[in-house]
Amino acid sequence: MSSHSPEHRGLRRLGAVVLVLALAVLIVIGVTSYARETRDFHPQAFAAAPAAGPRGGALHAGPSPESTQVESAGRPGEYKETAQALYEGQQLFQSMNCAGCHSDGGGGMGADLMDARWFYGHEPRQIFDTIVQGRQNGMPSFGGRIPAYQVWELVAYVRSLSGLVSPDVSSGRNDHMEVMPPPMSLRMKSRLMVKPLPPVDSAAVKGTTVPGVAIHPDSTGAKGAP
């Protein structure tokens, strides 16, 4: 009967009010602190300033006259690791036929993008240059043909293939061959292996024709280890 005394009822009412207020505050904090990704419908258009005249029709392997222009123009735009960028990058990877050489990340005629080996560097700007300038041994230069923001989206997706991008922004579905992120152990390993790797200077590997030369000794060592 004591619980029905007026003082207890008052305390209970106070408790309920405090609870409701606390909930309201939590909801307000939750709603206002939720950062929504904003979409830019007018991104910077081109990696290179539009050329003075039309360029030739064929894609070039390795650095081409266009890509030197690209180099001088720098890398406009912004690298973003967002769900939007990764999804768009995935779409572009399929539709621009990157998969034609790199398969769905596993490699084939082109380099394997799911393992920890990066012949020309894993930093976003290095991958950007690989796409825009092309590399020796077959990677064509896409400078002037893909807008810079789309190159950055491709960079984000390519990096996600080997687990360099946080899994919570990677695409939840795949319309093509299933590209699984590497198993957790491999992902950890690839992070460990990639971290100490110094940024590969593309000039340093220019002379090499054997791709294996650019591999960090750690990664080859790790491969052979049980």
- Cα separation, 80 vs 71, whole angstroms: 21
By CB under 8 A, residue 91 contacts another protein: yes
Binding segment (CB under 8 A) for another protein, from list 54-62, 118-126, 131-139, 196-204: 54-62
Shortest distance in whole angstroms from residue 188 CB to another protein: 33
Complex with another protein: residue 33 or 72, whichever CB lies closer: 72
Residues of this chain, 157-196, that bind another protein according to CB under 8 A: 175
Contacts 24+ apart (CB under 8 A), 138-142: 138/61, 138/101, 138/109, 138/110, 139/61, 139/62, 139/110, 139/111, 140/59, 140/60, 140/61, 141/59, 141/60, 141/61, 141/62, 141/63, 141/64, 141/66, 141/67, 142/59
By CB under 8 A, residue 101 contacts another protein: no
Closest CA relative to residue 122, chosen from 74, 63, 163: 163
Complex with another protein: residue 84 or 219, whichever CB lies closer: 84
DSSP string, 16-38: HHHHHHHHHHHHHHHHHH--PPP
Shortest distance in whole angstroms from residue 59 CB to another protein: 9
By CB under 8 A, residue 39 contacts another protein: yes
Binding segment (CB under 8 A) for another protein, from list 46-54, 72-80, 155-163, 217-225: 46-54
Would you tell me how many other CB atoms lie within 10 Å of the CB of residue 30? 9
Binding mask 127-146 vs another protein (x if CB under 8 A, - otherwise)? ---------------x-xxx
- Cα separation, 133 vs 143, whole angstroms: 6
By CB under 8 A, residue 4 contacts another protein: no
Of 56, 172, 212, 226, the one binding another protein (CB under 8 A) is 56
Complex with another protein: residue 92 or 197, whichever CB lies closer: 92
Of 57, 172, 198, 226, the one binding another protein (CB under 8 A) is 57
133: left (phi over 0), alpha (psi -120 to 50) or beta: alpha
Binding residues vs another protein (CB under 8 A): 39, 41-43, 45-46, 50, 52, 54-58, 91, 95-97, 142, 144-147, 149-150, 175
